[in-house]
Chains A and B, each alone.
Chain A
């Protein structure tokens, strides 16, 4: 009994993370019923992954930028611009795909460096710099494309958008075995890693999650992974973008949790001044975050272009808003310091399932937008509600309580002493 109570208490302390996950499952179940089971049909699950991959990739970079206390409004335009650049390189100049892809990622890095320079070293707020970037790179997209789409792309590049890993059974089996293999190995690796980590923590005498909670959570995630594996394997196997996405999610989660760079990102967003005074090179970290965002935006642009098999003047329009929404639904804080890659992925999937489910139901984009807007509002509203009820005990509680600098705050690092020195001392009290 006490184990149960302990687990429930732990659950309550993680209400936000668990809540958003449950919300995703509820939304999936809702549309599964509303669409008479079409949502979770193997073909549709595959579609879901491929359709949302570029938003999810953007959301990875976006949540990192948001954790550091910035924002990036330009990613949609950058994605469109890179699509155009890829079109020119591959279709007009005849570059092979294996040269064009790294070249495009490099262009993305340069774009990110351009914006990162203005934000980190000149000190212009990211909102302004990337708003300008949104216009600049949309303009460059139109100039590069001369206002016309570029098409078609070679099959190798198109595979990045809509291709699958090769079918080792040669298409004879009901299940695609390579996918099954990947899914089972992946699940086993996850289980092994979780148990190993738990053992190490116990050996070192560190606090651990309650056993019942740990077992339930791990079993659930493992089952979920196997279920998705089964669905994908029943159709055409593993989409190549899923492999790309999985590598990015695992890599970036580790980066944000365990690397010095990731930890410095959280520190900057949590309290910039404290980070500076702790010797963190805040400008360099900010600069790198935007370079990284540029590379991920380039990757998203390539995948999007590959999927459409054309580079279009309006390509990528609105991506920035979807990826920002994904990060916030996933629990990131507007003022920085809080957020996770996994949360952003779940947030992105919620948006994706809503899109997909409503499309199947035949709802127009008018209602789709309305509903997505309401979901964003509700997700953040739930945080606030949760915070007020818990009396500010949740760390997310600080999401919208903007810290106000002391009135004396001015310049680089204000020293309170300097202020009173600037003014003549308060005159005597009349009595």
Chain B
């Protein structure tokens, strides 16, 4: 039954000054779904790049055997010839090309250099049927959702006669429903004999699909847990990943809640392009000093849209409604005004909207409140460095110096830089949009501690999150959104995943 398809032995890969992988062992059996877990920077992606030939065989030590034959890949095309296909976290699709063109990109169905379009579209349609995607193959990729694009990637892999499919955080950008479909598809392909390796942070997903879990920590393979031996449990995986037991996933805190800081009334937002769509309907909510308020909702519920439209009309058009701070109406129609009124918004997409990745830590931290460091328009750079050093220490940002480039930091450390930036702007209200997205378990705990600390200082905190356990773990009160409506307001004492989900799926006309 357990026939090995892939054996990696003693894999060691060094970059100048860093040992990224050290003596890693990975055994994958034919026809199983094998999860790889580990904190960000543990070496998971590096290991997959070694396997798929992104790093040529002579740049690392160790042995790879696939289907009982040694492998020496020099490029991705070498590994693809053997049936090993990797799907990266950031999809490799060309937005303006059609689904069919993307599927056969670099692998065109052609004779003498001329593409056979009829056959291309026909074959594409067959592949789409295999992944359960009901779309016309000539539709441009940009017109289908991210979830469907992910399925197109898998169809592309199938076109290459995949035997071993590697998925790097496939559900990171997907909503729950699309994630479920994808996981079902992986199980479906397993039934057809396709072996999968899936890299994921989401432990519930791993429990759903994985037959085995290999844990990587600090560039070493720690252990392989097997489902048939009853070893795959959340506690066991977390312990392996962080190297210790997490007594609690969330820090203890005793909320000390004061008066109302921010109140939003009758907030309505139209879609920026599609004028017939109302993204947020007549939403009202409030947050008090020292309180952590959660915004729960499925994808498309309008959480980010609500937050960003309040924060300087950064989203949407025809925004209407009132914002009150300490009971007085305020104008937050531009970002500088919102910041001046003590509102901060830390985006869910820190790479595209939160950080200047080519700039260093200190300049990112000072970006939103540079005038605090300046006299008559001139910045005191020494004070800036001192301020940044202060945050590096207090927030535990792991970097050699505050002159380190933020693009090179891990997700957790980048998030700490974003939080430092907004803490330095000294807000009264912080809106944190998916503050732990793409962050490993250990760093998540640190972010929760920071949030608790902010509340303890008397700040009003709004947390937007797709992970209900997270909201239940850190919030004092949770609003639910469904299709742009506020459908519920639940104090933490009455909140459970079931009640929240009930409100989150409630329809309002």
A residues adjacent to B (C-beta < 8 A): 200-201, 204, 206-207, 254, 257-261, 263-264, 266-267, 270-271, 273-281, 333, 337-338, 390-391, 393, 395, 398, 403, 405-408, 410-413, 415-423, 425-431
Contacts and interface: CB of A to CB of B under 8 A. Distances in A.
B395 interface: no
Interface string B179-204: 00100110010010000000000000
B149 interface: yes
Contacts of A423: 144-145, 148
B16 A207 contact: no
Contact of A417 (B95, B142, B184, B301): B301
Interface in B72-115: 91, 93, 95
Given A259-B379, A263-B363, A416 B349 contact: yes
Contacts of B323: none
A116 B107 CA distance: 46
Contact of B382 (A206, A278, A418): A206
A388 B300 CA distance: 41
Contacts of A261: 377
Interface of B: 15-16, 91, 93, 95, 129-134, 141-142, 144-149, 151, 173, 175, 177-178, 181, 184-185, 188, 191, 271-274, 279, 299-305, 308, 311-312, 314-315, 335-336, 338-339, 345, 347-349, 352-359, 363, 366-368, 370-371, 374, 377-379, 381-382, 385-386, 389, 401, 403, 405, 407-408, 421, 425
Given A258-B378, A274-B354, A413 B302 contact: no
Contacts of A430: 129-130, 132, 188
Contact of A427 (B132, B271, B363): B132
Contacts of A407: 91, 93, 95, 141-142, 146, 149
Nearest to B175: A420
B452 to A, nearest CB: 25
Contact of A408 (B129, B146, B312): B146
B314 A412 contact: yes
Contacts of B184: 428-429, 431
A425 B370 contact: no
B349 A271 contact: no
Contact of A274 (B353, B405, B425): B353
Contacts of A422: 145, 274
A258 to B, nearest CB: 5
B367 A278 contact: yes
8 contacts: A260-B370, A261-B377, A267-B363, A270-B356, A393-B408, A413-B314, A418-B271, A426-B145
B308 A415 contact: yes
Contacts of B335: 276-279
Cβ-closest 7 pairs across A and B: A421-B300, A270-B356, A429-B132, A278-B368, A279-B339, A411-B272, A423-B145
Contacts of A273: 352-353
Contacts of B368: 278-279
B147 A259 contact: no
Nearest to B366: A263
Given A263-B367, A429-B132, 14 more contacts: A200-B382, A201-B382, A260-B377, A273-B353, A274-B353, A274-B354, A277-B335, A279-B335, A406-B352, A407-B149, A415-B308, A421-B300, A423-B148, A429-B131
A244 to B, nearest CB: 22
A200 B385 CA distance: 12
B367 A416 contact: no
Given A270-B357, A276-B314, A413-B315, A264 B370 contact: yes
A426 B188 contact: no
Contact of B147 (A257, A264, A426): A426
A275 B305 contact: no
A16 B335 CA distance: 36
Contact of B356 (A337, A390, A412): A337
A403 B389 CA distance: 29
A277 B356 contact: no
Given A395-B405, A420-B300, A281 B336 contact: yes
B279 A277 contact: no
A206 B401 CA distance: 10
Nearest to A268: B356
A323 to B, nearest CB: 23
Contacts of A258: 378-379, 381
A423 B178 CA distance: 12
A105 to B, nearest CB: 21
Contacts of A338: 358
A398 B134 contact: no
Contacts of B378: 254, 258-260
Nearest to B338: A279
Contacts of A428: 132, 181, 184
B131 A207 contact: no
Contacts of B355: 271, 274
Nearest to B271: A418
Contacts of A419: 145-146
Given A260-B371, A407-B142, A431 B188 contact: yes
A263 B370 CA distance: 9
Nearest to B93: A407
Contacts of B177: 425-426
A406 B146 CA distance: 9
A403 B355 CA distance: 13
Contact of A267 (B300, B359, B407): B359
A272 to B, nearest CB: 10
Given A263-B379, A278-B367, A417-B299, A427 B305 contact: no
